[in-house]
Amino acid sequence: MIEITVTSNDDSQRLDRFLKKYLSEAPLSMIYRMIRKDIKVNGRRAGEDTMLAAGDVITFYISQEQLDALAGTKKRVTAKRQFTIAYEDDDVIVVGKPFGLLVHGDSSEKKDTLANQVVDYLIREGSYSPRTERTFVPSPVHRLDRNTTGLVLFGKNSAALRTLSAMLREDGVRKFYQTIVIGSLREELHLIGKLHKDPEENKSRVYDASDPRGKPIETIVRPVHTGSDYSLVDVELVTGRSHQIRAHLQSAGYPLICDTKYGWASANRALQKKINWSTQLLHAGRLEIVQAPPPLEHLNGLEIKTPVPPFWKEIQLALFNKEIIGNGIE
């Protein structure tokens, strides 16, 4: 007989869904058979739809060896930390993602990801224990493309993760990006439209707001510094669609420099003679928390920033003959 206690991260979760995560190596049919014969909650038989609460005691009427085999405990492969910490408290950590690092794993890289690096950091700091939190892992609530740098929000517990996700859906977080575009932008642009993504090409197309195709998008572009051929801009991402900034600015006539997917090929070739850069330049540099409900109400009014990476300096000097943002310069 083995007993485990439900933690706050598994509060308000169905028994069967909890067991699917806890007994990760067990077939689904075995889990439902165990609920009928080998498991009790607080000393009583429970149905698969029983809602768990923090403090509930789940009793397994099997051996420790059987439980360990079904739980499938695996040794973690640690990854060298590459991120910076912009903000951290007991519920949330906001990190600065470097260039070239995936937020989540894919077919080319499953281990050395931002998500794994953050989890490793939290384990070392004692903020997270896989031994006690078998069914919950601290996770990011949004993502950035591999070549986009900047801020990524993580929930350190399930309540924070759910709340952060809701805040992003309900405009509780304002997100600002910095980039350099082709063209002289002298006035603020308030762009609306529809965005449709072709999954086969992994490319999005912008349509008029009245078009039935695509999902609504809204992007606000504010010039920070305007040159004769290029402009450094601050972009507020009101909606958060995949490739939204790159596609929306290209459709407005101001593509990101060196963007091989959405940019202008002839302009990119000319840029190669000026700068040693071959992909889009995009940095998620600032977040503003405008509406944070419990348990994250302490975040209300918080502004979180991270500076642009060092390689921005050389690019700005080449295009504007001076450094406009970076190294603490706003």
Average of per-residue pLDDT across 22-26: 91
Which of 3-12, 61-70, 100-109, 290-299 holds the top average pLDDT? 290-299
Distance CA 183, CA 255 (A): 8
- Residue 274: what pLDDT? 87
In CATH, what number does 173-320 get?
3.30.2350.10
* Beta bridge partners of residue 288, listed in sequence order: 174, 303
Above 80 in pLDDT, residue 75?
no
Average of per-residue pLDDT across 77-104: 93
Helix (H, G, I), strand (E, B) or coil at 324: coil
Burial (CB count <10 Å: 0-12, 13-18, 19+), residue 16: middle
Average of per-residue pLDDT across 20-43: 94
Helix (H, G, I), strand (E, B) or coil at 84: strand
Above 70 in pLDDT, residue 285?
yes
pLDDT bracket for residue 221 (50, 70, 90): very high
Contact call for residues 78 and 120 (beta carbons, < 8 A):
yes
What are the boundaries of each domain within the chain?
2-71, 84-169, 173-320
Catalytic residue annotation: 145
Question: 161-201, pLDDT tens digit by residue?
Answer: 999 999 999 999 999 999 999 999 999 999 999 999 988 88
Contact call for residues 217 and 265 (beta carbons, < 8 A):
no
Contact call for residues 221 and 237 (beta carbons, < 8 A):
no
- Residue 130: what pLDDT? 85
Counts of helices then strands in the chain (DSSP H, E): 8, 14
Q: To the nearest whole number, what is the mean pLDDT of the chain? A: 92
- Residue 329: what pLDDT? 46
Above 60 in pLDDT, residue 49?
yes
Above 90 in pLDDT, residue 134?
no
Residue type, 141: V
Q: What is the pTM of this model?
A: 0.86
Hey, do 2-71 and 173-320 end up sharing a CATH topology, with the first three levels equal?
A: no
Distance CA 233, CA 231 (A): 6
Above 70 in pLDDT, residue 109?
no
In CATH, what number does 84-169 get?
3.30.2350.10
Distance CA 24, CA 116 (A): 19
Average of per-residue pLDDT across 67-80: 76
Helix (H, G, I), strand (E, B) or coil at 73: coil
- Residue 327: what pLDDT? 57
Contact call for residues 230 and 171 (beta carbons, < 8 A):
no
Distance CA 307, CA 44 (A): 55
What is residue 228's DSSP assignment? S
How far, in Å, are 143, 167, 288, 296, 301 from residue 292 at the CA level?
Answer: 20, 7, 11, 6, 9
* Closest by Cα among 245, 181, 199, 191 to 220: 191
Q: Which CATH number fits domain 2-71: 3.20.20.210, 2.60.40.1180, 3.20.20.150, 3.10.290.10?
A: 3.10.290.10
Lookup: tokens for 93:
């950590």
In this structure, of 108-122, 251-265, 274-288, the range with the lowest mean pLDDT score is 108-122
